[in-house]
Structure 1
Amino acid sequence: MTDSSPSAAPPAPPAPPVDADPRAHHYGVFYSLAEGPADDVAIVVGNCQAESLRQMLEGPGLATIRIPAVHELTASDLPYLRYWLSRAAVLVSQPVRTDYHGMPLGTAQLAALLPAGGRVLRVPVIRVAGLYPTHAIVRPPSDTSLVPPVVEYHDLRVLIEAAIRREGGAVPAAGVAARLDTRTVHTIADESLDQLRRREAANETVVLSDLFERPSFDQMRTLNHPGNPVWSAAATRVRAALGLPEHVVDPGRPLLDRVHAPREAAVIEAFGLDASPTDHWVVDGASVSTDEVRAAHLAWYAEHPDAVDAGLARHAGALATLGLR
């Protein structure tokens, strides 16, 4: 992929940050704290999923640079980002809206910083609910960076319980029950997959939705944390789209492995999975009961009622399917 035509000398890298902290050293090449590759640099931009894809992409014909997730970038990071984009042969990006977080971080804005001949390849944000049909992502309008404690995923049963309690209603001691059967699971899974297909088409991304037509727990640890098999397949498709040879990367560890969601019996039955139901989360290797998460989230909802309202509106369809509204 190297362009052998004459070109201007590459720009000098920005100076390293003064008194670099451990985070800066973690991204050492990005922050000019370590020497990076000379040619065929690829920059992978997106949320926490981008780093997993980057690791699997690294290989013949393509050297990658580890950079912070897009939601972690600050104004002081922009000179480093501009420098690496000016040297990049490829930008692989999840769709990022223009002026994201008030900075020029939109996919089109970043693509404009590539050198002549630089290529852009879009990949979807992977979010599929089939294996975790009661779970959702909700952003409080008052502060979209806020997430509930313990685990950042909202259980729609607990969300409804918070709404009932706020209205003075009675809730069983065991909490609110959802209508969870194989039909419900498939309905939510099909709608979630259709949403992913629509995002892929709208943003002209590499297609990954077909990977989840018969999902497994190896693929998804939570509704938006894919496992290694997904990243291996995604990297193969990205490299194929770029005309690069296929290769296999073993990162030596499970990727995006910090949180594992509980597994419902109805989900296991619906997809014929060889697994057992669980009634707990796994966070950093430790078991956390659903009761503990429920209590922490109910307390958080009491402090952030707009999160409840946002969740009821955003996930009205799933709530109806689950018999919760």
Structure 2
Amino acid sequence: MSRATDIPHGIADADSSVLGRRRHYGAFFGLDPLPADFGVVVGNCQAESLRIVLDAPDRPLMRVPPVHEMTASEAERLHEIVARAAYVVSQPIRRDYRDLPLGTAQLTDSLTPGARLITVPSVRFTGLHPFQAAIRVPGIAGDPPLVAYHDVRLLAEVAGAPVAPALTPDAVRAVADDALAELRRREAEIDVPVSDLFTPVTADHMRTVNHPGNPVWLPLAARVIDVLGLAGEPTDPGRPLLASVQAPLEGWVVETWGLPDAPRDHWLVDGNPLTTDAVHEAHRTWYGAHPGFVDAALTRLAPLMRHWRSA
């Protein structure tokens, strides 16, 4: 029999990663028993934060993998879980997402009589980071190194049409208004709104353009509890949620919103500072290795870039 030390590191690491993931989602994979009268939150990386503030001893919420990570067998397992859940909270997911039956309507079909599915929005807000985009371009896989976010000022520079380093306060508010208008448009077909929670804006509202903070999660959870007719209050996790990656908080943004926070010119990744220069250098190299990304991204970001072009 081979000793553990004889296993190539890559294989051992891969097996450890798989086992660790299965343990993390123990009940989902059948390693732990299903709780009674449990709920499920389904969606992207934001879903786990909402699950955390909804979960309580008398209101158990099962942890499930984010839909963008799911395999075919895991999608099948999700339908089995949904069929036994008392309620499901889901971000809107299109039918046959990633060629799997993960659409919100498809999950609804698996509910048992008396169970409910309600929808919450996928939250994006650019008012605190109007220079930032989280975007994919068809045909170009993966994200740039260090942080998976693009600085539109760097994109414009690489494209040969640089823009100003900052926006005016009116332009910052206009970018925020555009983001809230898009949220309200999506909320027209969603059960629990969130767009009104951004008045007033605080630095804790968003860590990045798509990672909301506790001032969003706690009141959103309270609304979900109310809509579902459940008992109790949201569970305060006692720590910042979705805070492993935090974008810079630039001085002109602080000034626009009258924030009490000190500006921060660097990223925080797992609590460690990361300079913007280091990010830009790595991203320039990545753009050079992915021809076509910059122009395609700027085309998709045209509404945001209009504010920067006129600054």
Q: Aligned-pair distance for 1:306? A: 3.0
Q: Aligned pair 1:131/2:118, yes or no? A: no
Separation (CA, whole Å) in 2 of partners of 1:181 and 1:265: 12
Deviations 1:207-236 (A, max 9, x none): 110011321111111111111221111100
Q: Within the alignment, does 1:249 sit opposite 2:235 as a pair?
A: yes
Give the match for residue 3 of structure 1: none
Counterpart of 1:73 (choices 70, 74, 85) is: 70
**Which residue is 1:22 aligned to?**
20
1:204 equivalent to 2:190? Answer yes
More relative contact order in 1 or in 2 (CA 8 Å, sep 6+)? 1
Runs of 5+ unmatched residues, structure 1: 1-17
1:36, distance to aligned residue in structure 2 (A):
2.1
- Whether 1:152 and 2:148 are equivalent positions in the alignment is yes
- Give the match for residue 46 of structure 2: 49
Q: In 2, distance between residues paired with 1:179 and 1:236? A: 36
1:303, 1:77 → 2: CA distance? 34
What amino acid is the match of 2:68?
H
Greater shift after overlay, 187-196 or 134-143? 134-143
Q: 1:266-277 residue pairs with structure 2 within 5 A?
A: 266-277=252-263
Q: Is residue 282 from structure 1 mapped to residue 268 from structure 2 by the alignment? A: yes
* Contact 1:95/1:107, CA 8 A, preserved across alignment: yes
Residue 49 of structure 1, CA deviation: 0.4
Q: Which amino acid aligns with 1:23?
A: R
Please state if 1:177 is matched with 2:164.
yes
- 1:141 partnered with 2:117: no
| Paired residues of 1:60 and 1:245 also in contact (CA < 8 A) | no
AA matched with 1:141? P
1:27-38 superposed matches below 5 A = 27-38=25-36
Q: Which runs of 4+ in 1 moved over 4 A?
A: none
RMSD: 1.9
Is contact 2:164–2:308 with CA below 8 Å preserved after alignment?
no
Q: Give the aligned partner of residue 203 of structure 2.
A: 217
| Cα displacement (A) at 1:269 | 1.2
Which residue number in structure 1 is paired with residue 181 of structure 2?
194
TM-score, structure 2 normalization: 0.90
1:240 equivalent among 226, 244, 250: 226
Letter matched to residue 161 of structure 1? E
The alignment of Structure 1 onto Structure 2 pairs a total of residues equal to: 296
* Matched residue, 1:115: 112
Q: Secondary structure at the match of 1:295?
A: helix
Cα displacement (A) at 1:130: 0.2
Deviation at 1:179, TM superposition (A): 4.3
Distance 2:167 2:127 in 1: 12
Name the CA distance, whole Å, in 2 between partners of 1:68 and 1:28: 11
TM-score by length of 1: 0.86
Contact in 2 for aligned 1:178/1:323 (Cα 8 Å): no
Question: 1:89 and 2:76 equivalent?
Answer: no
3-state SS of paired residue (2:263):
coil
CA distance in 1, matches of 2:263, 2:291: 31
Q: Distance in 2 between matches of 1:241 and 1:120?
A: 11
Amino acid of the structure 2 residue aligned with 1:265: G
Letter in 2 for 1:185: V
1:161 maps to what in 2? 157
Secondary structure of the corresponding residue to residue 159 of structure 2 = helix
Identity %: 48
Please tell me whether the aligned partners of residues 162 and 302 of structure 1 are also in contact (alpha carbons under 8 angstroms).
Answer: no
Contact preservation (8 Å) 2:134, 2:210: no
Q: Distance in 1 between matches of 2:205 and 2:238?
A: 17
CA contact (8 A) 1:124 1:206 kept: yes
Contact between 1:131 and 1:217, CA under 8 Å: does it hold in 2? yes
Hey, what's the Cα distance between the residues in 2 that align with 1:250 and 1:129? 25
Q: Mind listing any 5+ residue stretches in structure 2 that lack a counterpart?
A: 1-14
> 1:213-268: per-residue Cα shift (whole Å, max 9, x none)?
32111111111111122111110000000111241312232211111111111211
1:208 counterpart letter in structure 2: V
Q: CA deviation at 1:309?
A: 2.3
**Partner SS state of residue 292, structure 2:** helix
Corresponding residue SS for 2:305: helix
Q: Which amino acid aligns with 2:251?
A: A
